[in-house]
Structure formats: structure tokens, C-alpha cells
Chain A
Amino acid sequence: MQFEKFNPLEDEMIQVMDETGEIVDPDLLPELSDEELLKLYHTMRRSRAIDSVALNLQRQGRMLTYAPNLGQEAAQVGTGFALKETDWGVPAFRELGMWLSKGWTVDKILQYWYGSEWGSHHGDDIRLLPVSVPISSQYQHAVGIGMATRLRGEKDVVMAYTGDGGTSQGDFHEALNFAGVYKTPTVFVIQNNQYAISVPRVMQTASKNYAVKALAYGMPGILVDGNDIFAMVAISRWAVEYARENGPVLIEAYTFRMGAHTTSDDPTKYRTDEDVEPWIAKDPMIRFEKYLINKGLLKEDEIEPLIEQFEDEVMAAYRSIEHSSDTEIDEIFKYHYAEMTPQLQDQLDEYLAYLKGADSNAQ
């Protein structure tokens, strides 16, 4: 239980691999087979391919508002990777790398952002909740899933996500407090990407960092370099097993939102190139690629074709949903209750009758 005593008021941020791809803390380097290393890398690259295709489609008017994950791939993939299939993922809305790890398929992910409720129907019975837009409200659900797990005497862990902005909501604090009291098997992840839309960290909290918030609720809080895939995997693996056996943990993944908040946002309104510049070299992808190349697992000239292959796959997934995602009218009505109420049935019938009338008038 080496991290149980991590003191976020004093200890340094945990880093295993620095920006150049050098391993700076070999003791913490997680055990990973070559196959696992490539799986991590490919998931990060897939995430970036989805972002890049989605942003492109959005510019062409073929995608709606989209929240990119650029720069946060290590934080998302590293945490998601540590979960077993029986463990749960409880996302906010910017956890693409974790979604992929949990098995939300690319076509379904795109379908959600394309404005169809079917995107949130994961198809397979995977232990992943849908996106939660009301900030930090999902933290409570993560706690409840853990309470149920404990009541049944099971050992599943729940990984819950929010952003730095999300730590300001009452729901965040209430959830941590519940988790502390009931010792739920929850790993709370804060992706601190330094901004909540335009609001920078200094306006969000006077705490030394976000990890310290854990202390008040009686759980370990660990500050991790969120752009270091090895630090993320090491801490997440530890945290998941700690939560499984003991109770809640909080991880602050210190990272950076390289892109806009969403496609509706213009970051030049509130941050400068100088704010972004230092983070370009810290890109989690670049340092992981350097490491893999040094290790002989990846060749420089394989990267471009790989990106192309992944982007082609994403485009194919998009094509599979682009023209088949329009909502059937009765679908608007029939999923509110197990049985449609008479009121809903009346409203559906009236609307269909109107459409029929309008149609015959038009002829």
C-alpha cells in the first residue's frame, strides 16, 4: 500500500516517464508486456483519431457540438486500462480513452455526439454509464453502484470521472463524503486539464491542488502526471486494488486541454499561445512514442500509416451511422416509462395524425 500515505500537501506529483520518454522512476514503472504497451498506445492513438475525424466532420457540418480530448489521452486510457471487465466506468463527458477501454464502440460514441439517444444504448452489456452532462452529478451514482456492490459482498470497483471545474459542485463533495462514510470501492478521478471552459485553475479553487480535497473525506488523494501513461497506469492499478480491498481513493490527473472546450468554444478569448506553448512538449503521445521507439516496439515511419488506418476506421464507423440515426417518431415517446402513459399515447397519435393530414394536403 505504498501510495496510501501519499501526502498531497507535501509530496511531489508522481511521474514515471518524463517529457523526453526517459524513465525517471524505474521503481514505479508498471509491469507491461509488449502487447499491453502497444494496446495502450493504440487506444491513445484511436482516441486521437476519433477527435480528429469528429472535429473535421463538425467543420463540414456533419457532426454537432463535440468535446475533444486532445492532450488528455494518457489520463483517460491509463485509468481505463486498470479496470477489469467487471469494474465500472462512470464518466462525465470527456473520457473518450476510458470509453474505448470499457468497450463503448466507436460507432456508438459518434452516434451520441451526432445527436441520437441510441449512442447511449451501449448495445453490449458493458459496465459503463452514459455521458453525464450536469457536472459532477454522476459522482453520486458511482458511490451508489459501489454501495450495491458492497451489499452483495462483491468486489467490483467503480471509477468515476469529473473535471477540475467539477470539484466545485456540491455533488462532488457529497459523493466523496458518502464514499468515505460507507467505504465504497470508488476511485474518483479528477482530470485537471487546467480549465473549466474559460475559467482557469486559480479561479476554481484555493486548495494547493485538487488531490488534497481527498484528505477532508478520509481517503488517500494522489497527484499524478496525467500526461505520463506509465504514472497513470501505475497509480490507477494501485488505486483500483486499494479501492477493491479498502475503500475510496482520489486521483488528480494533472493534464492540459490542448483543444477547445467544445467546438462551440473559442479559447483565444481567454488564453494565449504562451499558455498553451509549454504543454505542447508535454504531449502524452509524443513521450510515449519516444519510449516505444527506443524500446524497438514502434518505428518512426509506422506512425503516419497507423494514424491513417485509425482515421479510416473512424470514418467507416461514422458512415455506418450517418444516415441511419434519425429518430423514429415513436421512439421520442416510448422510452419514458416501461409502459407508455395514456397522455403520451394521445400526443403521439395526435402528432401522427397531423403529419398524415399535412402529407395528404401537400399532395
Chain B
Amino acid sequence: MPNKINIVQAVQQALQNEMALDPTVVVYGEDVGVEGGVFRATVGLQQEFGEDRSFDTPLAESAIVGSAVGMAINGFKPVVEMQFMGFIYPAFNQIISHVARYRNRTRGQRHLPMVIRAPYGGGIRALEHHSESTEAMFAHIPGLKVVIPSTPYDAKGLLIAAIRDPDPVLFLEPKRIYRAFRQEVPEEAYTLPIGKAKIVKEGDELTVVTWGAMVPDVQKAVSNIDDISVEVIDLRTISPMDRETIVASVEKTGRILIVHEAAKSFGAGAEIMAIVNEKAFLSLEAPPTRLTGFDTIFPLPRGEEHYIPTPARIEAKIRELAAY
């Protein structure tokens, strides 16, 4: 039977595979156990692996992440869920003060093989706090890896890699495309390397770097362009960033556009531009350019269509940059 699944099913399957293979993997969070998660990413796990390994918690993100630190110190591999990225902040103290620091401050004696999963991003006509993308705030924290897949295949392989990683990983799931499309994915466990971008489409005149839910939008924009040879890179890991793939591409194309839905200023796009300036400056034929969300709070649904760059805006920006 072919295993054609969407992103949220790929997340569920990754968890299921790893729980079956490794008895130290435990999955918990708000509404994760009985209900199987508000997005159904943990559905069936409690039935299959019991209440000790997949369970509901009281409503307290700081305790969810803080207890995961303790679980990881004491022999488990917790994979905890933040119901929405907008509700990760009660746990921010744990993440920045402990999760990301343990290995360094104990000179490697204690390290934290744990994963924090959170659906992120907008465009789903949601209420306040349910739409922001703040990956850059976390990528800025030394000691934390930040991964964002954009396909079912990548979601599964990267989540399994994150669970097996000896260090903490923040795994951000693009909820806008959770169920957007299906893909044939191996049923058994496999991993993809964290820290490696993927060239989604090769080209030699202009590079577009993007990630998460923006990847299909960029692909759509590029499919409308046959007079410019565009290379599309899906970053897949925000931190540590795959500098080689970006630099090699810009050395070839001389032009780079970064597309992200997070706010513009101090975003991950700025880091990519810095890398390009440092490593590929002499290859540049145009200023590195960003097309991003505004430096505003994500508008509520009656205005949200303005926020996330649309395929039409992406196409226009690509044409503008190509003509520079």
C-alpha cells in the first residue's frame, strides 16, 4: 500500500516510528494524549504506546518544557508540543536559560536530546496570537537548533533526525500547509540531515531562498516565470544555517531574493544577506533583497491577506530584481 501522506500525518508517523524503535521517546503536551493534539499530530500514540509515553499535561508551557529538560537529563527523549507557536512564550525562559545552555555550561557532561514541536505561521484565518512566525528569535539563541520542513517527506525525515539529535531542536511546523498536499513517503523510519538546505529547483540567473509554508508559494510564483532561470532553495534548517548551499547558488546566479513570512526587521532574511555579503560579495550583481511580512503584528483575518507575500508579489519581486 502506498504511504501517501500530508505534513501533519508525516509528523505523526515520525513520532510513531521513533516511539516504536526507541522506548525512551515520550510525547506530551496540552491535548496531546487522549485527543491526539488539536491538529491531530499525535493521534493514536496513546492508544498504541500507553499513557506513560504519550500524555496530556496541565496547561503550562513552562512546565512542559522545563520538565522535558529534567526528563532528558534523566534518560528520556521527550518530544513536547507547544499547541501554537504563539503560546511558546511562557516557556521562553526555560528555552533560553536552560534548554539551549546545558551542554555548554556542563562542558558536555549533560546534554538535552529533546524536541520542542510547534505549529507556526499565519494565513489560516485565526484569532490573535495564532499566526506569527518568530523563528528568528529562537535561531538567535546559541545552543538551539531550529528546523522548519515544507513537505511531508522532509517533515518526517527531519523530525526523526531531530529526535535522534543529541541536542535540543525546535521543530516548527508550517500549519498553513499541514494538509495542503500529500506525498509518497517511506513507511519506515529515515532521517534527513539537519543543517542542510534543499535545492527545490535549479536555475542560474537568480536565487530565491525560502522555507516552510512559503515554499509552495515561491514555487507557484516561479512556475509563472519562464524568461528568468530561477534557483529555489528550501532552507529547511534555520539554525545552523546551510551557508554552503546559499553561497554556491549566489556565486552562480549573482542575485538573491529571500522570502519569508516573518516580520522583516531582524529576521532570518537579514542573516542570510549577511552571509551572502561576507562570502559571496564579489559575485553579486544586484543588492540582496527581501520580501517578507511587514514589521507589524499579524493582522486579524479581516486584513490578513495583505501580510503574507503572495505568489503574485513574489513574481513581481523576482522580475524587479532580475531587471536590476
Contact residue among B35, B59, B125, B304 (Cβ-Cβ distance under 8 Å from A165) = B59
Q: Are B60 and A134 in contact (CB under 8 A)?
A: no
Q: How far is the CA of A133 from the CA of B301 in the complex (A)?
A: 16
Taking a contact as CB atoms under 8 Å apart, the answer to whether A133 and B127 are in contact is yes
Do residues A134 and B86 form an inter-chain contact, with CB atoms below 8 A? yes
Which of A116, A131, A133, A333 lies at the interface centre, i.e. has the most chain B CB atoms within 10 A of its CB?
A133
Is A85 engaged at the interface, CB distance under 8 Å to the other chain? no
Question: CB-CB contacts of B81-98 with A at 8 A, as 1s and 0s?
Answer: 000001101100000000
For B30, the chain A residues whose CB sits under 8 A away are 196-197, 199
Knowing A198-B31, A327-B299, say if A203 contacts B56 (CB, 8 Å): yes
Is A205 in contact with B58, judged by CB distance below 8 angstroms?
yes
Cβ A199 vs Cβ B31 within 8 A: yes
Minimum Cβ distance to chain A for residue B24 (Å): 23
Residue in chain B with minimal CB distance to A262: B127
Instruction: Check B129 for interface membership: any CB of A closer than 8 A.
Output: yes
Set of chain A residues within 8 Å of B89, measured between Cβ atoms: 134
Question: B55 CB to closest chain A CB, in angstroms?
Answer: 8
Cα A269 to Cα B36 with chains together (Å): 9
Kindly state the separation between the CA atoms of A134 and B62 in the bound complex, as whole angstroms. Answer: 13
B112 to chain A, nearest CB (A): 21
Q: Mark A310-337, 1 if CB is under 8 A from B, else 0.
A: 0000000000000001110101110010
B34 at the interface (CB under 8 A from A): yes
Q: Does chain B have a CB within 8 A of A256?
A: no
Across the interface, do B125 and A64 meet the contact criterion of CB distance under 8 Å?
Answer: yes
A4-12, A23-31, A185-193, A351-359: which lies at the interface: A351-359
Residue of B nearest to A344 (CB): B295
A117 interface residue per 8 A CB criterion: yes
- Determine whether A194 belongs to the interface, using a CB cutoff of 8 Å to chain B: no
- Please indicate the chain B residues that have their CB under 8 angstroms from the CB of A270 in the complex: 34-35
**A107 interface residue, CB < 8 Å from B?**
no
Question: A354 CA to B58 CA in the complex, in Å?
Answer: 47
Does residue B302 face the partner (Cβ distance < 8 Å to A)? yes
Bound CA–CA A327/B297 (angstroms): 13
Residue count of chain B within 8 Å CB distance of chain A: 40
Contacts of B296 in A (CB 8 A): 332-333, 336, 344, 347
CB within 8 A of A332: which of B56, B57, B130, B306? Answer: B306
B300 within 8 A of A: yes
A20 at the interface (CB under 8 A from B): no
Asked whether A354 and B59 contact (CB < 8 A) given A116-B300, A116-B302, the answer is no
- Of chain B, the residue at the smallest CB distance from A199 is B56
Report the bound CA distance from A139 to B99 in whole Å: 27
- Give the chain B neighbours of A168 by CB distance below 8 A: 58-60, 63
Set B35, B63, B126, B128: member contacting A198, Cβ < 8 A: B35
Interfacial chain B residues near A327, Cβ < 8 Å: 299-300, 302-303, 306
Contact residues of B between 129 and 176, Cβ < 8 Å to A:
129-130
* Contact mask for chain B residues 279-314; partner A; CB cutoff 8 A; 1 contact, 0 none: 000000000000000111101111110110000110
Contact, CB under 8 Å: A169 / B90? yes
Q: Is residue B264 within 8 Å, beta carbon to beta carbon, of the partner chain?
A: yes
Closest to B265 in A: A343
Asked if B180 lies at the interface with its beta carbon under 8 angstroms from chain A, I say no
- Given A196-B30, A197-B30, A332-B294: A117 and B299 within 8 A (CB)? yes
In the assembled complex, A115 has its CB within 8 A of some CB on chain B: yes
Given contacts A116-B302, A198-B35, contact A333 B294 (CB under 8 A): yes
- B35–A64 touching, CB < 8 Å: no
Q: Is A363 an interface residue (CB 8 A)?
A: no
A133 touches B129 (CB 8 A): yes
Q: Which residue of A lies closest to B93 (CB)?
A: A170
A131 with B128: CB separation less than 8 A: yes
Output the nearest chain B residue to A321 by Cβ-Cβ distance: B302
Contact A358 B265 (CB under 8 A): no
Is A135 positioned at the interface, with any CB of B under 8 Å from its CB? yes
Residue A204 lies at the interface, judged by CB distance under 8 Å to chain B: yes
Is the pair B264, A347 in contact by a Cβ cutoff of 8 Å?
A: yes
Contacts of B125 in A (CB 8 A): 64-65, 115
Interface membership of chain B positions 103-129, coded 1 if the CB is closer than 8 angstroms to chain A and 0 otherwise: 000000000000000000000011111
Query: Which single residue of chain A is at the shortest CB-CB distance from B55?
Result: A203
- Structural contact, B316 and A135, CB atoms closer than 8 A: no
- 13 inter-chain pairs at a CB distance below 8 angstroms, sorted by A residue, are A116-B303, A134-B89, A165-B58, A166-B59, A168-B58, A170-B90, A197-B30, A198-B35, A199-B58, A327-B299, A327-B303, A347-B294, A351-B294
Top 5 closest pairs, chain A to chain B, by CB: A327-B303, A115-B301, A168-B58, A165-B59, A198-B35
Q: Which residues of chain A have a CB within 8 Å of any CB of chain B? A: 64-65, 113-117, 131, 133-135, 165-166, 168-171, 196-199, 203-205, 264-265, 269-270, 325-327, 329, 331-333, 336, 341, 343-344, 347-348, 351, 354, 357-358
Q: Which residue numbers of B lie inside 8 Å of A, CB to CB?
A: 30-31, 34-36, 38, 56-60, 62-63, 86-87, 89-90, 125-130, 264-265, 294-297, 299-304, 306-307, 312-313, 316
